[in-house]
Chain A
Amino acid sequence: MSARSFWRPGKGQSRAAVYSFLGLVSWFPVIASFNLYVAEVTRINGKSMYPFMNADRDSILRRDVCLNWKWGANRDLERGMVVTLRSPTQPENIAVKRVVALEGDVIRTKAPYPVATVMVPAEHVWVEGDGPPGTSLDSNTYGPVSKQLITGRITHVLYPFNKFGPLEWRDHKRPLVY
């Protein structure tokens, strides 16, 4: 086989098919890296961010689809941001929560946390779901979480279309720090 035929497949159709398949496969690592480190389209499961997300969860099975921005997700966090993180208690699960307090903040905890007030330690954040206490497995159960567990930020809503656009996490009315 001459070198030229390696780079420019011959007339054989099966060989052309193999090369086009290899050309397709060679893009998989690029797409996987993009989804891991830059952005990914994520579907929100569960009730922990209700009613901010999955607002129709009581009437239909539709789940919100969001853009999960991963680049520099655990840098320059602000109170109120909606982030995805690996659950500290279930390593294979990705959770969606709201950052409620940053390092150094003193937070008043909710049930079932055993202590009334907590100061969030260095490089950690306090995350909570939006629903009423007891509807979300969050920092009130497992305590402050390391920023290293945060995998991304929810920046845009893609579906349903009536909510399409940037996620207005700043406008969400909620007592963030007591």
Chain B
Amino acid sequence: MVFTHFRARPFHLTLQTFKLMCAVHLFQTHVFAVGATSGPSMCPTFAVDGDWVATDMTHARNRRKELRIGDLVQYRIPILENADGIKRLVGLPGDYVCMGTPGERGEDQMIQVPEGHCWVLGDNLTASRDSRIFGPLPLALIKGKVVARVLPYGQSGWLHNPLQSAETSQLGS
């Protein structure tokens, strides 16, 4: 039996557990991960506390080139040590974005997002530490795309990009 096998070989049990932990960790950092969110910056999309989300880590660094404006991204905060944030993608390389907050001083300043960077903002602009503070975010710091809400139970489901691409027929008419 498995149990008797490992009871007779404690070192083997430790080793197999370590190997399993490495595999699980790599899965969570490169494929898919579930984690809790906290903070007011993404209200009303995510509550201040108690929401759990699932992140698709295959979008790290935008290596699949599939991130679109309006997607939610999980990234390493460039001005903090080993802290992650979740924000909404507002600009990709080459886009022109507003640097300030609408309705406040400096709202008319624009910047072109440099190569290899993006512009991220929180949904709750008044309580968000985002690109308005730390500037363009290097795509290399993006860990993944937030794809689903897991908890609270009643609100769980896939998160869809709220922005629809403009139809050419609408532009023409």
Contacts and interface: CB of A to CB of B under 8 A. Distances in A.
B48 interface: no
Interface in A122-178: 122-124, 142, 145-149
A142 B114 contact: yes
Q: Which 4 A-B pairs have the closest CB atoms?
A: A146-B78, A86-B140, A89-B116, A29-B23
A75 B82 CA distance: 10
Contacts of A6: 2
B26 interface: yes
Contact of B22 (A33, A89, A123): A33
Given A3-B1, A91-B138, A92-B63, A29 B78 contact: no
B167 interface: no
Interface in A7-59: 7, 26-27, 29-30, 32-33, 36
A30 B22 contact: yes
A109 interface: no
Interface in A86-130: 86-92, 121-124
Interface of B: 1-2, 5, 18-19, 22-23, 25-26, 61-63, 76-82, 114-117, 138-142
A88 B141 CA distance: 9
Nearest to B77: A148
Contacts of A149: 78, 138, 140-141
A122 B79 CA distance: 6
A75 to B, nearest CB: 8
A21 to B, nearest CB: 15
A90 B18 contact: no
Nearest to B139: A91
A105 B76 CA distance: 23
B81 A74 contact: yes
A29 B18 CA distance: 10
B140 to A, nearest CB: 4
A148 B61 CA distance: 13
